Amino acid sequence: MLSTLILLALLQADPVSCHEVATNDRLACGRRAVEKAEARLAEFDVTDCAEAMTTLEMNACGALDLARAEEQMFRYLGLALERVSRSDQEATGPDPVESARYLEASQLAWAEYANQACLAVYEHWKGGTIRGIMWQGCRIELTRERTHTIWANHLTHMDNSPPVLPEP
């Protein structure tokens, strides 16, 4: 945990993970993270991240990309949880259906997995200034993959009906 806090301080990110807030507050938390990342990037006067030159500028751009990816994931997750909760309540039969509980548990397990996997990347690259960028790249990729998994498993239909949200 200490290495995570140090890493977040280096990247000047908010040390409170949106996974740690109440389920209904995650999307708002994600939106605030995007706003903070946008403000941080504005401090560098960078208008196009493709033109970022310094490590600090690249880290600020990566923080914004990650915040946006997490915000999208929380949007998809929130809607998926609403859908499975409704489905759980409508289910009939002798055994309770607990899809929402398992989806929430899988999200928390995923968050811990992503944290550990990307800390391994950070440790691998910790000898250089690229370590933060590599950590961010890992988190962005895993977040996008998680968002797609949520979409595929909970926001699409078995028939040809259009999905609830577009494919991320």
Q: Side chain identity at 74, as an amino acid letter? A: F
- SS3 assignment, position 26: helix
Return the closest-CA partner of residue 78 out of 17, 27, 16: 27
Domains recognised in the chain with CATH numbers: 2-154 (1.20.1270.180)
Instruction: Evaluate if residue 2 carries a pLDDT over 80.
Output: no
Residue 29: what pLDDT? Answer: 95
Tens of pLDDT along 4-28?
Answer: 544 444 454 555 689 889 989 999 9
60/45 Cα distance (integer angstroms) = 11
Least confident of 16-30, 56-70, 152-166: 16-30
More confident residue, 2 or 55: 55
Tens of pLDDT along 79-113?
Answer: 999 999 998 888 877 777 899 999 999 999 999 99
**What value does the mean pLDDT take over residues 71-79?**
97
Token pair in block for residue 154:
């909970």
Tens of pLDDT along 108-153?
Answer: 999 999 999 999 999 999 999 899 999 999 999 999 999 999 999 9
12/136 Cα distance (integer angstroms) = 12
